[in-house]
Structure formats: structure tokens, C-alpha cells
Amino acid sequence: MRGKGTDADKTILVVDDEAGVRESIRESLTDEGYRVIDTADGRRVLDLIRSERPRLVLLDIWMPEVDGIGLLKEIKKAEPEVHVIMISGHGNIHTAVTATKLGAFDFIEKPLSLEGLLLTVRRALGEPASVKGNSSKSKAVKARRSRPGSLLQPDAAGELRQKTLKKSVVFSGQGLHSGIKTGVMLHPMPPNSGIVFSGISADVTVPARLDYVASTGYATSLSGKGFVVGTVEHFLAVLHSYGIGNLLVKMQGEIPIMDGSAIEFCRLIEEAGIEEQDEEWSEIVIDRTYSVGDGNGESIRVEPAATFGVRYILNYPPPVGMQEHTYIFHGPESFKEEIAPARTFGFLKDIEQLEKLGLVNGGRLSNCILIDNDRVINTDLRFPDEFARHKILDIIGDFYLLGRPIRGMVTARMTGHTDNIALLREVRKGMGL
């Protein structure tokens, strides 16, 4: 059966042993103009692919007599150009990561959300996929393009372009504060989509924007409609520095801490490759000085400058002492060499209190610089001023919550995530962003 206006390029094969699921998917996708065929028999799938030539297969991971993961391998071996979306009512982020590594385009959970299903199908077929709230924001950005001081004009190298990844990639690790072993799937997105976090069903999405900041205690976390995304700052710093503006990040609970730095995220982005998109993009150009501070030596400000940079000063008791580092952005390579390797750090005397607060449950000797009264006890520093550089890493990540790269010079002294977010709110208010 063909839906109105469909063609062979819009054929989708649904493979699921539950008749109700097949019927629901078939009706929903047919209403959207797709040609849908379905079967409960996993043994017929390869024959149906050869005869019906679907561009996309929705494949249940648990079926009688057939192992969905095994069938996925067979499909990708026999018909590598056919995209496969795995569906399951019993899966988790680890199953999703496994399936994606084996060639699945994506993984979604039952009960299926219509919005999440359609978003995933459209991405798989290379069709425009809008994320709620972003299209109007995109129009607003275009409307403001001529406002003095609000947006950067194209630089000497030419117009700035939006970017996404060339392909989907996955990674896994442990959450620093939750202690949960988690995985993350990164999927390219069309222009004007923004950076969007979701669970594996993609039914609830949380944009990486200032309005969605939920907490800033020891890390920056986002939330929306009950879905929480923890410890986003290191990952966002990499996206900021590489200019990745459109990405779907599917995950569970918290971005993995990796080794406490952002260097693994850099390697992941480079592995996926960066795709320049047709739509223009503009930096936010700071038009005057904005600052926040508590009057006790803690302060952060941003002021107009020719490029983006951060100067950070900290002064802790020994063995840390006073550290200062100034970083000027000269492209992703400068970030990768100077800032990305700098790891998160903590004081042994504070660990007990953090544990009482339910934090650092995933802290390990391998993912945090641990400091006692007179020395670093678990590692050699990568830089003499590694602590100051890590604070710069946090600032770069938090500043991307304005949705676009920044052009301005940040100077901070003894500040953290709460101060960063407070400054961003001042910038947004002052510039009408």
C-alpha cells in the first residue's frame, strides 16, 4: 500500500512480532506520506529488502526465533546502504550503543513516541527534521542580523557556515557525579537544529541553551520535561571550539567524565569528521563590558575583543597556590593542545562532603586530579597551571549555552559554573539575545 505522494525512495520496512506495534507504526508513517510494509517474520527480512527495496528498516531487537542484533549484522553485510533503526521495549543505553557500533542508524525505545519516531525516521532518510522551539529562534537570529553589536559580520576568510558531524558516533564511560556507566550517541542534524540532548527514544529533547540550565553545583546540568542532562560543560566546550552547531546527543543521565578532561571528546569529533552546511552562522560579538562578582575577590567579566579568549586567575592554599593562564582561541587545534587535556580536580578534604551530597560517585583516581594538604596524590600534572586551564575549559563550555560562538575576552578570578551562568544571563539581557 502506498501513501499519497509516495515513491520508492520513501519505502520503510517494519519488522516486529507485535501486531499492535506494526499497525501503529504503519498508520503513523503512512499518514506522513511513507510507503510502509511490515512483517512479524524476521526470517523474511532479507528477501523483503531485496524485493521491496526499502530505504529504511525498523527492526525489533527481541523477536521469537530471530536475534535482532544478529539480523542487523546480516542486513548491514548484505545491504550496507539500507539504514536500520533498532526498536526495543527492554533495551537501555548500553544496548543502543552496541547496536549503533554494529551499524544501526539509531535506537529507539518502546512504547514509541510519535514525535521521537518521526524525528528519527526523517533523520535516517535525510529529510528536514525540526526540533521544537528552534525554527522560531532561527528566524529571530536572521531578523537580528543587522542589529549593531549583536552579531558578527563575516570575517576576512568569508562567511561563517553552520556545521554538524559527517557521521554518527558513539562512546561510553562513567558519570562523575552519578557513578552510572553510561553511553552517548552523536547524530548529525540539519541546519538550524542546534545542539539537542535526548534520551534514547528522542521523545523529550533538551536544547543546550541557557533557559534549560537546572543546576550549577560542581557541574552544569540541563533539564526539561523531567529529562536531566548532567555535566555538559566539557563536551560543550569541544563543540564550541570545533564550531559544531547542529547535533543530536542521545544519552542517559550524565555525560561521561572520561579522564576528567575534554581530549577524548576532541578525538571523537575528529573521528566522525565535520560537515560544513549551507546555512550561514554568526558569532555573538560582545558589544560592551558585562560583569558579575560577589565583592570578595570572585568575579568574571567579558568585554569586546577581536577574537575569543579567556584569562583565569585562581589562588588556593598550597600545594596549588596561585595560577594564571590566558588562552586566545586560534581554532580547534589551539583548544586541543592548550585547554582540552586539562583535567577536573578536587581536594581530598572535600570528598566526604561531596559524597554526602550524592556527588562524585563516579570519581576515580583515573578521572580526577586529587589533592591533599601538601601534594597531588594520584597523577603528574599535564601543565604547571593545569587547574587554571581546566577552569577555562569549563567557561568555554558554559558560554556555548548562548547557542553560538562568542567573540569577546573573558577575565575570571576564583569563579565557577554559577558565576558563568550569571554572566551569560547578563549578556543575554543586555544584548537582547
Q: Are strands 35-39 and 11-15 parallel, antiparallel or unpaired?
A: parallel
35, β-bridge pairs:
11
Assess contact for 170 and 105: CB atoms under 8 A. no
Query: Are β-strands 274-280 and 161-165 bridged in parallel, bridged antiparallel, or unpaired?
Result: antiparallel
Q: Is 148 left (phi over 0), alpha (psi -120 to 50) or beta?
A: beta
- Cα–Cα distance measured from residue 280 to residue 405, given in angstroms and rounded to the nearest whole number: 13
Are the C-beta atoms of residues 52 and 13 closer than 8 Å to each other? yes
Strand ranges for 79-149 from DSSP E: 83-88, 106-109
Q: Which of 52, 48, 59, 56 is nearest to 16 (CA)?
A: 59
The catalytic position among 234, 240, 325, 417 is 417
Which three three-digit cell numbers place residue 219? 557541574
The whole-angstrom separation of Cα 72 and Cα 194 is 30
Amino acid at 408: G
What pairs with residue 311 in β-bridges? Answer: 326, 411
- Residue 416, SS3 per DSSP: coil
Nearest to 206 by CA among 190, 184, 222: 222
- Each as own residue / partner, the long-range contacts of residues 3-10 (CB below 8 Å, 24 or more positions apart, any chain) are 3/29, 3/30, 3/31, 3/32, 3/33, 3/34, 3/35, 3/36, 4/33, 5/33, 6/33, 6/34, 6/35, 7/35, 8/35, 8/53, 9/55, 9/125, 10/34, 10/35, 10/55, 10/125
**CB crowding 250-287: b at 16 or more within 10 Å, else e:** bbbbbbbbbbbbbbbbbebbeebeeeebebebbbbbbb
Active site residue 234: no
- Taking alpha carbons only, the member of 164, 168, 203, 170 closest to residue 187 is 168
Catalytic residues, which ones? 417
